Every structure is written in structure tokens, then in C-alpha cells.
A = this chain, B = another copy of it.
């Protein structure tokens, strides 16, 4: 039995879903994978919880966000350094909000963890998108795992398929519907709803954020195709290298015209290697019925890898919510420790 200390940074929807999932799956992880997962600490910006046991985690995770700091076990000012200094290395679960300007606070967390030889399983994208080469090199140098399935389309297995199932192939092209919010809005617009109404409805359902720009302006798709390409095709894209389109400009007229031709307008994350050069983009593309992603609607996602020796391979589905992301983090932890 391998003891696996876990430290969670970030206690939003994904962080909470991860605590619940770990509690539910604890016995299965012992029995099936020989992993004894122990959540040791949960950290927010101003402090956190440390050294709790399962019944208490189950209680803490149910607290409304505003009340966590008033819980008797809350330790104001508690930081990652305090926690790392008192634990054997395990896995840092990085689930703080994505900031694509600075990469913080995830960047500081991940560097601190990797330097202390903790593995990292990340759901936040900022640090990876801004400092992909440096972070992966640091993990390699220190012989620890750096996984980010939760940041690259959650429960849709993009990296596992690209790295593991397609090992030995040349991936010449990738096309993906990688963002559930924009795909849901575009699907609603196919039904005749305007962009602003579809956006409002998507926000009311809790699918889109109050500030939807990361999603609708293509940033999230750009981040994901960057991480996928850099991981599986060995590129070194930075975010500024990825061409990007917003879906704000799509009109009902655009949708109607595509529909009349039997086509669908999709925001695709695309990567290609052509004549020795590579490019990546988040782009509005009109696809027809023969495209493998034509039927991917609503919050669903999908990705197609075009390879030399295995042909094209498409993966579709996977929950597009905090629980799906939590499941992807747990999967990454299991695979980090796989013998």
C-alpha cells in the first residue's frame, strides 16, 4: 500500500468536487490501485485547513464559501510552505482560478511543489500556458509527475489518448471542440436563439461564468489546444502564438446559412504540422456531416487526432462539469503512481 498525501490549493467548485470524490473513492483506490489517499490540507488565499480527518473534510466541503473562514478549524495565514515542511511528498492538486495574465497563484504553487519533489495534478491552466517549457523541465529534473488532464478538457481524455494510446505515431493534425460553454451557445444559436440570449441562458444555468470572456473569446480553447499540442506534438507554443477568434461576432444569419448547407459552425481548437512548420488556433469553422465532430453538440466535447500509422482517431464525451474535472484529477493521481 502506497500512502499518498494530498494537498489541495483552491476551494471553488472543482476543489470541492475533488474533496467529495476523494472521499467517495477512497476505499476503491486502496483496493484496486493500492493507493491510500489522504487529504492533508486545503488552502485558500488567506489560509486553510490542515491535519483534518475524513469526517471533518466531509463537513467542511459542505460549508458555503463565505463561512469556511469562520469554521473553528480554519487556520488564518496558513500557506503551502507551512504544509510542505510538515509532510512527506505527495500530490499537490492545483485547482485555483485560471489567470492567463500572470499564471498566479497556480504558478507559485506549482514551482513550490515541484521544487519540494511533490507531484502536481493541475486543473488550472494559467501557469502551464505561460510557462509550459519551464514547468515540464522542472518536473523532469526533479523526477516527479506533472499532470494536467483536468486542464485539457476535463473528463475528455485528450492527453492520455495523444501520449499513450497514440505512442509511436506522428500526429500531423488535431481538431477539437474543447470548450463546453461556447459549444452550448453555438448549439442554442442553431436553434434560432441570438448570441446574447444564448449567453444569458448559459450563464443562468451556471454553465458560463458571470464574466464569460475566457470562454466566448476563445481563450480557453486556445489554452487547451496549446497544452495538448505542446504535450503530444512536442511544440513550444506560447499563448501569443495561438491565433484566436471570439464567438461574439457570430450572427443568427451565419448560423442559418451554415444550416441551409447542412453544415455546423463550431469553435475548433486546431493544430497542424505542415511543411515542417506548426501552427495552432482557436477558430470558428463551418464543418459538414462527414467531419467526425459534426454531432458533438451542447456542452459535449470531442477531439480528433490525425496520425500517420493509425489513421484518424476521435474521442468524444466526458462530463463537462466540476465532478468530471475532479474525476480527471483523480485519474491523473492514479496514473502518476502506476507501477
Contacts and interface: CB of A to CB of B under 8 A. Distances in A.
A188 interface: no
**Which residue, A28, A156, A317, A335, has most C-beta atoms of chain B within 10 A?**
A317
A313 B309 contact: no
A326 B310 CA distance: 9
Contacts of A170: 28
A168 interface: yes
Main secondary structure of the interface of A (DSSP, over half): mixed
Interface residues of A, number: 42
A35 B156 CA distance: 29
Given A168-B330, A295-B295, A331-B167, A314 B311 contact: no
A327 B309 contact: yes
Given A310-B319, A315-B314, A317-B292, A327 B168 contact: yes
Interface in A321-338: 323-324, 326-328, 330-331, 334-335, 338
A138 interface: no
Nearest to A312: B317
Contacts of A292: 316-317
Contacts of A324: 309-311
A297 to B, nearest CB: 11
Contacts of A28: 168, 170
A330 B167 CA distance: 8
Interface stretch (A103-111, A157-165, A218-226): A157-165
